[in-house]
Structures are given as structure tokens and as C-alpha cells.
Amino acid sequence: MRFEHRGIRTRLISCSKRAITMKQSISAVGKSSAHPSEEVQAEAPAKLEEQVTATQVSAIAAGLRLVAREPVPVRRVAVALGGAGECWRARDYAQRRETVCAIAAAWGWSEALIDESIDALIAPLNRFALESLVRSVPRRKDVIGVIMPGNIPGAGIHEYAIGLLAGCALMIKTATAEPFFFARFTQTLREVDAEVGARVAVLNWSRERSASTSAFRTSCDWIAAFGNDDTIARLESVKSWDVSEAGGASRLRVRFNNRVSGALVASELAVGPAAMAVADAIARDVSLFEQQGCLSPHHIFVESSYAGAVYEFARELAAALERFAKRSPAPRRYGLEEAVAVRRIRESARWRGIGGSAVALMEGEGLGWTVVCDDEASFAISPGYRTVTVSRFGDLEDLKRRLAPVAGRIEAFAIAAPGARLESLRAFLAALDICYICAPGAMQSPPLDWSHGGGAFLHALTASR
């Protein structure tokens, strides 16, 4: 069918249609047709799991550069992205189901949890939000290389959308651990609008293929990389990342590395009838993506003058995590390091409590979820997998002291407080350079103009002249 918005007409597929092949997805680079030329097809891998060579990377980048020189109306891009997002909002959409099943099989996460997580991820990707963003995005003709993370599916979707709205072409290098989401989302984008979708190439190769990485580095105008601290440090250690474009290599301009998030519960909402709803919302924020992303809260700070209220809220949160686990079960398997890390948190809390410290442990079946109520703790970084610390703070100076260990690395904070107090609490957190401040339950759905990592990607687009 066709969709028209403000005079822009584009073809939209039915969300129940079959998925197109990976050969179509990768090889359509540089073409306005969904049926690429035989020459380009010959250069592209035919299967999702097939890794590209350096020659293929260079050839695909050359096609992207041609595409980037031919502008597409920005509102058409917004409509196409919105249409792709609309398809992915349907849980039975073929590309989404294939992605969910592939991730569940590879990682051991439950399909229900992945579906809930993708719902949150896709929520901001609607045509109205996209068209609102158009006015604030600078126009470019760059070929941007984006190294996507392997810890959660779809991380980087905001930068994906912003890059396309800016008029750029994107060469996406997916992680070996998660090659699924962006390959299939880009297939959907091509089905919605082949010309817009042709501005993205999604490729995969292992870290050992240094020649492919070198071709990627030299073929793109600049690079944005997602990863943990070790990954970013490894990339930064490659000296040629920082050679100027005139010298023939691209700069690693944007780095998204380890960040943490938390939540604040005001005293008025920590106990009583409102506490359950707050706990349910925070439990969702904690559980989505198995607490692996930068927007997942690690530590909940409860405002109170006495420890009893904090313990009661920790119990409420434990019950909420159990309720969430009933509909979105915990992983059916864990890696050894992950299991050891969760066990270490549990046993440390258990023995500290036995030793007389003001620490209480609450835990679900297996490694399903863990709540540590530690009255005096400063910000504690979680190993993930629904493991969270709850602590008391007396006033904002006390909270600032407790956040000091992660100062400069806090991405998001949820605030549960009465309306009359929200503004002052928001101002306090914003002064700590926290990028995204929201209500509980909304942490995994930041708006498209979210200042991710301090707005690094948008700043790079503006500075790239």
C-alpha cells in the first residue's frame, strides 16, 4: 500500500509480509531499486552469518558514497523511518520475529523479555517525533561508519535515525555477538522505501579480520563506536584512527563506552499506596534488556530519614521484579562470568548481613533477580541480570556524595516524586551532567533528541565540515 503524509508519498509494506533475503539487504547499496545490479550482488555476502572481506567493504563504501551525494528529501526519510518503526511495533511482524528468535537462541534470553525490550526501543521511532527532529539535525553528505555494540539488540537506533535524517549514508558494522537487529531492521527500511534503505549497509566481520577493519576505517568519513571500556580502549590504541582525512584515514570521532543509570524515589512515594506502582515501573526499567545497557538502573536511592522505609521499598521492588519475571522470564542460561558475578553480589550481601551489617538480601529463583538493601552504600555498579541495590539518602548533599564514584558516567536517572518537587530534583540531577532524566518506566525509551553521551553524535555532525 502507499502512505501519504504532508504531500510525501511512499510505499509501505504490510507488517505481516515475509522478510526479504539477506542478499537483497546488503547488496542494494547505492541503488534506488530493491533489485540491485549483478555487479553489486557479486561483491556482497549472501547470508547473515557470512563475513565480508576488505574488498567487499571498500566496494560497498564506494557505492554508499555515490548514494550520499544524491540527497533524499528529509521528510521522506522521516516517513520511511516511521514506517519501518510501525512495522516493528507489531510483534508478529516477520523480521521482528526472526530477530527475537535468533537472539533468544543465541543468548538464552526469553522471547517475552526481548519482545518487551524491543517495544521500549521502538517506541520513540514514530513519524511525528522524526519530523520534529528534522529541524534540529544539520544536513551532511558524509559516509559514517558505526560500530554497533553486542550487549543489547538495537542499541544505536537513535544514531541510525539521526544519521539518515542528516542526509548521510551509514556503514553499520554489527557485533559478532549480535548481527541480527540492524540487518533485519534495514531490510524493513528497504521494503518501506528502497531509496532511503539503500543509504545503509549492514555488514559483519570478526575482530580477527583486520584488513576488513582497515578498509572500513579508511572508507568512511568518520566513525562512531559503541562498546565497553575495553573495546573503546582497543580502538583508541590503533593510532591510525586519529589520522586526519587528508592523510587517508577516518577519525574515531564518537565513543560510547560504559555508562550507568539509577533512580531516585522521594519519601512521599516510597511507602503507602503509590509505592507499588513506582516499584513496578522501576522493575521494568531494571529488567528490560536484562539490565545490560547504559539506560538500565543499577542503584535505587530512596529518600528517607529512617532505614525502615528503605527496607519496605526494597521489599516492594523485589515483589515487582517477581511479578515482571512471571510474564518475562529470566534467561534460561548464563555465561560463567555472568553467573559468578551475580553470585558474588548475593553471597557478599548474605555474609555481610550475617556479620551484623545493615544489609538485607532478597532473591528470586535461580539467578532470576536480586535486590540488595544496603542502607549506607554509595553507587554500586551491577553485573546486570536484574541485580539492583537499594539505599537511603537523607538530603541532596548526601545523594551527591553517594553518586561521586560514578560522577561523569551517569547516563540516565528516573525520578519518582510529587509534581511540586519534580523540577527541583530534575535541576539537581541535570547539574550533575546526567543526560536523560525521566519518570520510572520510561528509562528504556528516551526521545530521539536524547543527548546520548552528552550529545556526542549530534556534536560530531555539527563539527564535521
Over residues 263-272, the mean pLDDT reads 96
Whether the per-residue pLDDT at 249 is higher than 60: the answer is no
- Confidence bin at 209 (pLDDT 50/70/90): confident
Name residue 459's amino acid. H
Per-residue exposure over 181-194, b if at least 16 CB sit within 10 Å of its own CB, e if not? bbbbbbbbbbbbbb
Cβ atoms 99, 181 nearer than 8 A: yes
- In the numeric block, the cell 558505526 is attached to 146
**pLDDT score at 239:** 59
Whether the per-residue pLDDT at 406 is higher than 70: the answer is yes
**pLDDT tens digits, one per residue of 115-138:** 999 999 999 999 899 999 998 899
**pLDDT score at 254:** 84
- Confidence bin at 402 (pLDDT 50/70/90): very high
- Regarding beta strands 359-363 and 297-303, do their DSSP bridges make them parallel or antiparallel, or are they unpaired? unpaired
Whether the per-residue pLDDT at 230 is higher than 90: the answer is no
Taking only Cα atoms into account, the Rg of the chain, rounded to an integer number of angstroms, comes to 23
> Other C-beta atoms within 10 Å of 401: how many?
11
- Looking at per-residue confidence, does 50 or 391 come out higher? 391
Nearest Cα neighbor of 87 from 194, 203, 200, 186 is 186
Whether the per-residue pLDDT at 270 is higher than 60: the answer is yes
- Confidence bin at 206 (pLDDT 50/70/90): confident
CA distance linking residue 150 with residue 207, whole number of Å: 13
- Regarding beta strands 297-303 and 387-393, do their DSSP bridges make them parallel or antiparallel, or are they unpaired? parallel
- Confidence bin at 236 (pLDDT 50/70/90): confident
Range with lowest mean pLDDT among 24-28, 109-113, 133-137, 289-293 = 24-28
- Confidence bin at 17 (pLDDT 50/70/90): very low
- Structural domains for the chain: 2-258 (3.40.605.10), 260-438 (3.40.309.10)
**pLDDT tens digits, one per residue of 291-346:** 999 999 999 999 998 878 999 999 999 999 999 999 999 999 999 999 999 999 99
**pLDDT tens digits, one per residue of 151-196:** 999 999 999 999 999 999 999 999 999 999 999 999 999 999 999 9
Share of the chain above pLDDT 90, in %: 73
- Confidence bin at 210 (pLDDT 50/70/90): confident
**pLDDT score at 13:** 41
Q: Could you give the residue ranges of the DSSP H alpha helices within 140-252?
A: 157-165, 181-192, 194-197, 210-219, 229-236
Over residues 219-228, the mean pLDDT reads 89
Tell me the three-class secondary structure of 427-459, residue by residue. Answer: HHHHCCCCCEEECCCCCCCCCCCCCHHHCHHHH
Over residues 134-143, the mean pLDDT reads 91
User: Whole-model pTM?
Assistant: 0.87
- Confidence bin at 241 (pLDDT 50/70/90): low
**pLDDT tens digits, one per residue of 422-462:** 999 999 999 999 999 999 999 999 999 998 888 889 888 88
Whether the per-residue pLDDT at 47 is higher than 60: the answer is no
Give, to the nearest 10 degrees, the angle between helix 181-192 and helix 74-89.
120
Whether the per-residue pLDDT at 1 is higher than 70: the answer is no
- Regarding beta strands 260-265 and 251-256, do their DSSP bridges make them parallel or antiparallel, or are they unpaired? unpaired
C-alpha cell of 70?
544524491
Over residues 350-357, the mean pLDDT reads 95
**pLDDT tens digits, one per residue of 365-400:** 999 999 999 999 999 999 999 999 999 999 999 999
C-alpha cell of 373?
538493601
- Looking at per-residue confidence, does 74 or 206 come out higher? 74
CA distance linking residue 413 with residue 260, whole number of Å: 9
